[in-house]
Amino acid sequence: MAVAKKATTSLPPLRCWPAGQDVPAISVRQPWASAICWCGKSIENRSSWPFRHRGPLVIHASRTPATQAMVESFAEKVLESGVPRARFFSRLERWSEREDLGELINPYGAIVAVSTLAEVFEPGRKIPAGHPASGSPWANDEAYRLFMTDITPVRPVEFKGRFGLFKVPYKVILRLEPLTGLGVAVSP
């Protein structure tokens, strides 16, 4: 019996992924994809989730532009999550002052993070008290709530997303580099 090789990537969620195997992904609209990367959003809401997959999950930022209402909702949710108002707005100011950050922290049509899909809560199922997602302002109780851990932002890699769960070729995964040291995270 052949033993599967382990991944050759240093990204934490992918360390145990078999080398050569494509990795599951979801596409998320902006500004929510950036909220996953930089603002502590560990819950992604879906109207449907007919998949059994748990484990490594690539986060793709869709090409669809954000609306003003979405940006306002994003800011409201960040503040509800416990980020101090002054820190959040100082980060926004820093983001807008540095032209080079836009493509890194708010890209469209690109892979932006890898994570571990740890758990999925069905609509109406209460998240237990004491669970890391309990009380999250990002959770919608009427949707499937995908709870992610080990979220690691990566240097954006252009890629065409799809609806639902799709696969990212392993050769693309090998191009992903962790994105650290920007001083832009606003997690509580």
* CB neighbourhood size of 144 (10 A): 18
- Give the number of domains in the chain: 1
Residue 82 is assigned to a structural domain of this protein: yes
pLDDT, position 76:
81
Q: If you average pLDDT over residues 134-162, what whole number do you get?
A: 93
Mean pLDDT value across the chain: 83
User: Domain with 147 in it: what CATH number?
Assistant: 2.30.130.30
In terms of residue numbers, what domain contains 79? 22-173
| Lowest mean pLDDT across 15-24, 120-129, 145-154, 174-183 | 174-183
Residue 151 is assigned to a structural domain of this protein: yes
Residue 52 is assigned to a structural domain of this protein: yes
Higher pLDDT, 97 or 146: 146
pLDDT tens column, 31-55: 889 889 888 889 999 999 989 999 9
pLDDT at 5 over 60: no
pLDDT, position 111:
96
Residue 8 is assigned to a structural domain of this protein: no
DSSP calls for 43-99: EEEES-------EEEEEEE-SSPPPHHHHHHHHHHHHHTT--HHHHHHHHHHHHH-G
Distance (Å, whole) CA 6 – CA 10 = 11
